[in-house]
Structure 1
């Protein structure tokens, strides 16, 4: 079981990323999940809840509550899906798009401060290794 150290490093790396990223997201007035939804919907056509869940990796139960709160804040809107009347399409309101245009680049810049510590070839190798690991599963 020589993969256990890799597994431990993977989990601890994600936890360290979360500890680094989450406080900044919170300082922007959002939860991590709200940020994920806004970042996914930004500059995109409205999408179904299923598509949004797949792109954000947020469970349906969690997504429902997050969407309700974002809708109450006037950041997203729902419309009937003309291709499938059983589902709704979710998109950003003008206020949501304005928020996206503020918080998304700001958070990317914040993350860049950490990622710029890696050389370009290290970043490329890390990306390749993570894709390989994902594909294995």
Structure 2
């Protein structure tokens, strides 16, 4: 588990990152499953090593989303359930299940609370727009 990436706390791992690049990041961290955030945009990707002459080794990249301050256009809170069943094996594709759960909450009450606090109003605006 990391905030941004295994390399840097402030590195963004977006969903559109190429499979090879994402695979290298997981491999460099010696991670079969990597849970991360920072982008506030949930996604799940299974990537593999592509070394010639080697058996494919699968790795799982899980962006867990954001309970607050979403940036994917969906204002609901998001949390992730990661389930690893008895068939899961290192380097295997199967046995891992990732589910992103969305929960509605009173976004307007949260934005009003931000506006009434010492926080900049830009944070309230980002809650309203989910951007």
Does the pair score TM above 0.5? no
**Where on the TM-score scale, by shorter chain, does this alignment land: which range?**
under 0.3
TM-score, normalised relative to structure 1:
0.23
TM-score, normalised relative to structure 2:
0.24
Higher strand share: 2
Higher helix share: 1
